[in-house]
Structure 1
């Protein structure tokens, strides 16, 4: 039985990785300027001196693919954690208002600094995620303030509070956007739709440290997340400080989501759908479910971006809209399933 489960998990990782590699291969070789596999490999290895090939690969396609993979990994992982914290399969960072809080802070950053801070210092690269972190923390603080009842976190109350907080931050975002000049307003509107078309290496540098710090910390607490699925009294009886661990895990998730929102805007439903698929594939144990949720999120975003930039070519549909088109019917299905 153990070997069968192990083989199944290995097969899930293999198939998901194959989907990611296939979508990445199509994305890097196809487009307005088509390239062969040989051209791509030679360019990546520095054997091709063509300026056009180098520009297409290193300035446009490769950063976009890497951002898509990191975005899916972060949102899939954060979604699994949020669902584990509140013990509700319908929860995700977007529905809890974390995305909206981080988004409001980033739009405020765009408004104050016209979308950029001059220079390429470490401070300038990390400023947008830091703004996002402040906004995400503000949303998390408001959610905890209103959702806690007698020291306990009610999952239904949490979702209702999250919707209210999300709406409030959405109104602030709209108000700030309308105060922008036309150029910054256009940039903010495209960014809010969840787009990675302007991906670059600076965004990768800004995003990567947050994922490298918080994802291992989350994975180390997989067993605690498993225990937290019990009733609160039982979890405390097992030696878990539920409130402390819940706040820590929520902070880790806010950090990841803030970094994702800073570089790609509000890409919804990844944090909802990826954990569900992972749970069906490898079971309830977070030690296995969290990495698979990250892999599924990576596959969702890279495939969604490929669909958005190919099916509607020469126009592009932001990846956030593509995933929302898929995610809304899936959410309705989950809603009716949980009611039954």
Structure 2
């Protein structure tokens, strides 16, 4: 009689242990990233600068202008993309679903590049307003992708996993072509900026970008987490879920909108960083099982660790050149994706 009550407690303890471990690993990477680079700093110098104890101008410049904004933005982007990937895999019942594979990345990126094209050199508004407007354009692009997914990937009100992937790949290719066409129409300076941005770069991170991303994560993450039970039920057959009294259409739309918001906020400041939303849910399920109440926050932490670590690798291993974080993650993600496809084919 005691076993059913002990299992959830055991799982909860495991979750908190994993959450603490991932937090410590992330903090360790942040520490290494803060102290290492072209201008090395000691732990004492970092803490004295952060705590404003006898601040030194050079240390302030290195930490607050170059390293810390980049680390914080990378952590936020990884957190958002990891959670978005978990949501998409949950509502589609497809473990290969991912914001990049489903075309949401490409659509949001296309609309952000469109925004950059029409406002470059003409927008007289303050810089902070431009930065805050980019997530909204990305959100519109993400919505366009979701509407097209709903139109072409559903039959009789149900998503078909294979059709969802095929439609998503087609959308990603189409929006990618649109993005390339728009970027080629830009002047050389803006074209170079757009190209670096599209590779998934946070090299030029600043505090304005962090402020534009943070509200989306603060508002949308709790909405998703509170629907963890709904995501668990969505793994059942559609008829069974409706029989349990779940308004699947309404819940799926809410979760999709939240997912689009997270992806758009991340894409607008970093470009297309793929595979985080694909890999993080797979690792989380291996660590904690299939309970989305635990999967969602773990996916956020795993995504955070992935992006911060990939950014550190990109700026140090290939120094003095800096490899965009999106390319570093793709180097890891492509073989992993091929392995997943091979396993799915074997099954």
Residue 12 of structure 1, CA deviation: 1.3
Question: How does the TM-score come out when normalised to structure 1?
Answer: 0.97
Indicate the SS of the match to 1:34: coil
User: Which residue is 1:313 aligned to?
Assistant: 319
2:232 to 210, 220, 226: 226
Does residue 83 of structure 2 align to residue 77 of structure 1? yes
Residue 20 of structure 1, CA deviation: 0.4
Residue 118 of structure 1, CA deviation: 4.3
Distance 2:174 2:280 in 1: 27
Does residue 25 of structure 2 align to residue 19 of structure 1? yes
User: Which residue is 2:3 aligned to?
Assistant: none
Distance 2:311 2:269 in 1: 15
User: Which residue is 1:217 aligned to?
Assistant: 223
Distance 1:119 1:45 in 2: 34
User: Which residue is 1:205 aligned to?
Assistant: 211
Gaps of 5+ in 1: none
Residue 48 of structure 1, CA deviation: 2.9
Distance 1:116 1:17 in 2: 43
1:287 to 283, 293, 313: 293
Cα RMSD, aligned residues only: 1.3
What are the within-5 Å matches in structure 2 for residues 273-284 of structure 1?
A: 273-284=279-290
Distance 1:211 1:275 in 2: 18
Distance 1:49 1:92 in 2: 44
Deviations 1:116-169 (A, max 9, x none): 844447643321001101111111111111112122211111111011111110
> Alpha carbons of 1:115 and 1:64: their partners in 2 closer, same or farther (altered >3 Å)?
farther
Gaps of 5+ in 2: 1-5
Aligned length: 340
Distance 1:76 1:331 in 2: 15
User: Which residue is 2:157 aligned to?
Assistant: 151
User: Which residue is 1:43 aligned to?
Assistant: 49
Distance 2:260 2:248 in 1: 18
Moved more, 225-234 or 148-157: 148-157
Does residue 344 of structure 2 align to residue 338 of structure 1? yes
Distance 1:191 1:6 in 2: 39
User: Which residue is 1:178 aligned to?
Assistant: 184
2:330 to 324, 330, 336: 324
Question: How does the TM-score come out when normalised to structure 2?
Answer: 0.95
User: Which residue is 1:189 aligned to?
Assistant: 195
Deviations 1:95-130 (A, max 9, x none): 000000000001111111118844447643321001
Give the conservation status (yes or no) of the 8 Å contact 1:110–1:116. no
User: Which residue is 1:55 aligned to?
Assistant: 61
Distance 2:260 2:312 in 1: 27
Give the conservation status (yes or no) of the 8 Å contact 2:228–2:293. yes
